[in-house]
Amino acid sequence: MPENYLALAKQRRTIYALGKDLPLPDDDVIQTIQDAIKQAPSAFNSQSSRALILLGNEHNKFWELVREQLRKIVPAESFHATSDKLDGFAAAAGSVLFFEDQDVVTGLQEQFAAYADNFPIWSEHSSGIAQYAVWLALAEKGIGANLQHYNPLVDEDVQRTWNIPASWKLRAHMNFGSIIAPAGDKAYMDDAKRFIVAK
């Protein structure tokens, strides 16, 4: 099992060239994402992670919202490159928007006052674990993905468009789809600069 996990971890890469032809039915992809998030650990078993799963036109709508917000802040002479980048994200089959429920965080702060300062940090840990769990689960199914962060730029648009509860804080968005082109080679820094082992 550990060897299988490490093989999967190596298979998971940031894939930018994504298409709309998923190898599984939409319902199976949705279930995979939901199961991965449900199995992701969280501090105090808080289960603070939330997700908005967008497919088809709803996925395209999200990237149009991002485009319109960026149009307001990116100089006109530079916007073509930005728009091309967004076209690449919109070319994917869908996206998962990851949130952390702040009502859960504040509830834990009130319940366990001694750890109050830590719960926002642990919430971020939970979100990162959920994102990685989904990424691995999609990779295992042969679905490529990349992770983006246009929050808080689009937070209000997302909340209004999909009726997101006010307590949900957007942390990241992951595009997923068929793999049109694989990721390039990955470089690794020297282990001696990254790890300290004491035994």
Angle at 75 between CA 90 and CA 170, to 5 degrees: 45
In this predicted model, what pLDDT tens digit does every residue of 120-153 receive, in sequence order? 999 999 999 999 999 999 999 999 999 999 999 9
Question: What one-character DSSP code corresponds to residue 93?
Answer: S
Q: How confident is the model at residue 2 (pLDDT cuts 50, 70, 90)?
A: low
Cα torsion at 106, 109, 115, 117 (round to 10°)? 50
